[in-house]
Structure 1
Amino acid sequence: MLHDTPRKADYGSPAQSPTFGFQLATRGARVAQQNSFGSEELAGAWHDNGGVEFSVQPERVAVGAGSDDVHNEYPEGHSGHWGAVFNFVNTIVGAGIIGLPFAILQCGFWTGLGLMTLAAVLIDKSSVMLVQAGEKTGRLNYEELMGAMFGAAGYHTFCFFAFVMAFGAMAAYLIIIGDTVPQVLRACGVASGALTDRRVVIALLSLLVVLPVSSFRDLHKLSFASFISVLSTLLLVLIVVFAAPAEGRTYDTIDRTDIFTFARGTLFAGLGAISFAFVCQSSTFIVYRSLGEGARSVASWTSITHMSLSIAWAMTMAMATLGYLSFGDQTRGDILNNFSARGAAAAAARAFLAVAMLLTYPMEMVVARHVLDASVCRALLRWEEARLGRHMVITILIWAATTVTALATDDLGAVLEIFGAFAASVIGYVLPSLLYLKSHEGELRAAALVWKGAGGAYAPSWRERAAAFRPFYWAFFMAAFGAVACVAGTVTTILDNH
């Protein structure tokens, strides 16, 4: 059985991960790259023709000592390929999807669509980078991988940002439940009473539905809930896509003169909401470890990631584009708040959204509970064994804190933007790229040696130098992009909401 708090392990014989070799020659100079799995030692052999040949020899990255089989330390779970896809899509397409039309408004139409596509590509690549680094070093926990690469500071840095991200997501889900369920009940004829009060609805559903489902320890048990959640979100998207244009025509105050504006000054705040919608790296290893016998490999995970991000991208693009074009400058932080309270389509969309949020919350609880237990209980307090009592105490504390937060605010747009800009940018872009670069230090040294031409004895062409660093282009870009998105997005959001 896979728990979200796996056993602590020593890691001495990690699996292998991509390396490459370089060969330079004065005639027909070229860089040959061979993709295999393993780190390397560099050796240089001088030749009479003035060239130098660099060979890359396999070498394991030693980050610890212990078992010869990392999979013995992280037992395989019970999820199949499609179960993992639904779980992963469920972590991606959560509360953020209904804030994406507003994110397009913040960014500008064309810039917003471009940033959504870029975010999907970067998240896809960074998720695979994480698993590659994890398999290489034998660390199949995000926080343990950070600890192996960057020490205690790295370990707790991840735990902090992952908890903030998950906490913001869970609070957003409960805010949405409070916004949607009372309106669904009004559309069904419940015009007054306690059930039309958002605070009462949040408290009741949080206690009666969210808390029990969030208490599961085995991620496999959430696969069916994830399937229902993804199906509900898909139906929500279809309703918005087909109903939003007609609803938008009922507005008399929409200014459509600049609806196709390329970019706006608040684009970094919009990028925060986009990042919030796509970032799922906190769940990467949790879902990866849940894969069943024979299904856990970099190749399998790459397929799962591509499929999950493709589904999520298609759903979010449809929602964002049609939602924004229908309501223009009147687009709200929660797109469903643009719909009439009593329309049948709007009521159905809100009902599907409420179901999706109720069933997505537990996936974020898995992340929040895991990192809080890892950082505080295991790392600081040295409590090794994961007992059921501790599991329930942490669950109840997180559940209570997110419920109180949702009761205290109803500004969904601000929650999505601030948590997305601050935490999602770091979790989704910065840390995965740094981990990939750190776990491939040997390959970077090889590339640097190619760049320098072995101390000046040989001058490689710019094409050869560029080819040497080609495996790291995305990682360098992702780190810079994430840093800018985090700082600029957080500052912009704070200033806009001050």
Structure 2
Amino acid sequence: MELQKMNGHSKEEGFDGLDVMAEHEEFLPHKTGAKKETHFTDFEGKTSFGMSVFNLSNSIMGSGILGLAFAMSNTGIILFIVLLLSIAILSAYSIHLLLKCAGVVGIRAYEQLGNRAFGSMGKIVAACVITIHNIGAMSSYLFIIKSELPLVIQAFLGSDANSEEWFLNGNYLIIIVSISIILPLALMKQLGYLGYTSGLSLTCMVFFLISVIYKKFNIDCPLDHPNMTVIADDHVATNKTSDFCEAKMFTVNSQTAYTIPILAFAFVCHPEVLPIYTELRDATKKRMQGVANISILAMFVMYLLTALFGYLTFYGDVESELLHTYSRLGLKDILILCVRFAVLVAVTLTVPVVLFPIRRALLQILFPDKPFHWARHAAIAFCLIFLVNLLVIFVPSIRDIFGIIGATSAPTLIFILPGIFYVRIVPDDQEPLLSRPKIQAAGFAALGFIFMIMSLSFIITDWVTGASRSAGGH
């Protein structure tokens, strides 16, 4: 019932025989001309390769891009590049494990891989992790809308910063944006249709990157501003020596520990991989791996350039959110105003893409045997958006909650579940338990547990010492 046709694609170079046979046995009906009941996962693959790249790239690109320059300031350029490259490679390998599992058993739903590996409990755990992580991601996007949209409107209208007009209230604005833009997009039946909005979203972020590069050559360091030494989260730049505006190649400080979590969260896209695979035209494992590799490479380049030029603009004085640092130039800076608007468009159009895997996870748990129904489809979207709006409006200290969610869900989605699924699902007659691929997958899962324990330890230590300064998030 979760199975998907292979769209007539019978052979693909690079597949081993067992993978092809397994996919075809599961994905094609056993009797020619026989009709099977259509379920919500049984979409025909109609999304082009390019649109799939847009969708997956858009799901990778999160609000964490605004915190990467801050991360680089706490590691130095060389260490940052090494960490960023390592996380990108590990993320691509993780997707390879997921696609391998999906090819062996003919299942293209993350939750159903959990069901195949560990039964109903595995299915529930996978669905819960996806739901928690993506709700956190949706909330982070709406928080950006809540904080940045009033500033854009204020700059356009020339309103007083202390104005209490309703249209400058971020709580009202996120409700309006959710109802008028996010909800209609979330009601689309298939994720593939969002390829056009994903393309627009990525275009906005490319504009953001170009602006960051341009501003590097138009802003002198240090900024001549009376509040220059005070930056986000009460972080005070104490190094005002002559080398303050010199780039550091390698550095370690109290904030360096947060760099790996920030980078890991920035590459989480795994809940969206299998839905995008399901809707890919002429879907094969090799073709979908190509989509993933191109998307990860594109985001690696964007992340690296954004972090590098943002850091080289403000050096040790860069804030935990890059846009806040540019606020020192004043709200009337036209280019930065356009950048704010572009980022708002990008995060707004990303929310529906992130919502799709949550809805799929809930459908897998609550209505696994039910065919697609518009009322159910729309009701889940409305309830999710309503819940996220409540979180953003009424929970002022959501950053700490995101820290716990991110420290647990990101390593689970990237490392732990793909590694464990691979060990459990790939047959022993195809790859023995002590074969190199399975040992690598087990080590990959173990790395995820280490990463989780490390992240939680740093967060709890910050809470205990009262010095929480974590930045960014996917």
TM over 0.5: yes
Q: Secondary structure in 2 aligned to 1:442?
A: coil
Relative to structure 1, the CA distance from residue 271 to residue 262 in structure 2 (aligned partners, 3 Å threshold; closer, same or farther) is same
Q: Deviations over 1:359-389 (max 9, x none)?
A: 00000110111112212x125xxx6233211
Q: Name the CA distance, whole Å, in 1 between partners of 2:293 and 2:373.
A: 36
Q: Deviations over 1:381-430 (max 9, x none)?
A: xx623321111221111101111112235678656644332211110121
Q: Which has the higher strand share?
A: 1
Q: Which residue of 1 aligns with 2:234?
A: none
Q: Which residue of 1 aligns with 2:358?
A: 368
Contact 1:172 1:415 in 2 (8 A): no
Q: Which residue of 1 aligns with 2:453?
A: 487
Matched letter for residue 236 of structure 1: F
Matched letter for residue 432 of structure 1: P
Q: Which residue of 1 aligns with 2:426?
A: 440
Q: Which runs of 5+ in 2 are unaligned?
A: 230-236, 467-474
Q: Name the CA distance, whole Å, in 2 between partners of 1:239 and 1:412.
A: 29
Relative to structure 1, the CA distance from residue 177 to residue 59 in structure 2 (aligned partners, 3 Å threshold; closer, same or farther) is closer
Q: Which residue of 1 aligns with 2:372?
A: 386
Matched letter for residue 354 of structure 1: L
1:212 correspondence with 2:184: yes
Contact 1:276 1:417 in 2 (8 A): no
Q: Which runs of 5+ in 1 are unaligned?
A: 1-6, 19-33, 40-57, 449-467
Matched letter for residue 17 of structure 2: F
Q: Which residue of 1 aligns with 2:90?
A: 122
Q: Name the CA distance, whole Å, in 2 between partners of 1:354 and 1:299.
A: 34
Q: Secondary structure in 1 aligned to 2:332?
A: coil
Q: Which residue of 2 aligns with 1:270?
A: 259
CA RMSD of aligned residues (A): 3.3
Q: Secondary structure in 1 aligned to 2:320?
A: coil
Q: Name the CA distance, whole Å, in 2 between partners of 1:83 and 1:64.
A: 26
Q: Which residue of 1 aligns with 2:325?
A: 338
Q: Which residue of 2 aligns with 1:235?
A: 207
Q: In percent, how many aligned pairs have the same letter? A: 21
Q: Which has the higher contact order (CA 8 A, sep 6+)?
A: 2
Relative to structure 1, the CA distance from residue 443 to residue 482 in structure 2 (aligned partners, 3 Å threshold; closer, same or farther) is farther
Relative to structure 1, the CA distance from residue 249 to residue 330 in structure 2 (aligned partners, 3 Å threshold; closer, same or farther) is closer
Q: Which residue of 2 aligns with 1:51?
A: none
1:147 correspondence with 2:115: yes
**2:270 equivalent among 278, 281, 286:** 281
Relative to structure 1, the CA distance from residue 221 to residue 495 in structure 2 (aligned partners, 3 Å threshold; closer, same or farther) is same
**1:91 equivalent among 37, 54, 59:** 59
Q: Secondary structure in 2 aligned to 1:342?
A: coil
Q: Name the CA distance, whole Å, in 2 between partners of 1:311 and 1:266.
A: 27
Q: Name the CA distance, whole Å, in 1 between partners of 2:374 and 2:285.
A: 32
Contact 1:425 1:486 in 2 (8 A): yes
**2:144 equivalent among 176, 180, 188:** 176
1:304 correspondence with 2:291: yes
TM value normalised by structure 1: 0.77
Q: Name the CA distance, whole Å, in 2 between partners of 1:474 and 1:145.
A: 19
Relative to structure 1, the CA distance from residue 289 to residue 233 in structure 2 (aligned partners, 3 Å threshold; closer, same or farther) is same
Aligned residues: 429
Relative to structure 1, the CA distance from residue 65 to residue 444 in structure 2 (aligned partners, 3 Å threshold; closer, same or farther) is closer
The aligned runs of 1:401-480 (5 Å cut-off) are: 401-409=387-395, 414=400, 417-442=403-428, 446=432, 448=434, 469=436, 471-472=437-438, 474-480=440-446
Question: Which protein has the larger Cα radius of gyration, Structure 1 or Structure 2?
Answer: 1
Q: Name the CA distance, whole Å, in 2 between partners of 1:321 and 1:185.
A: 30
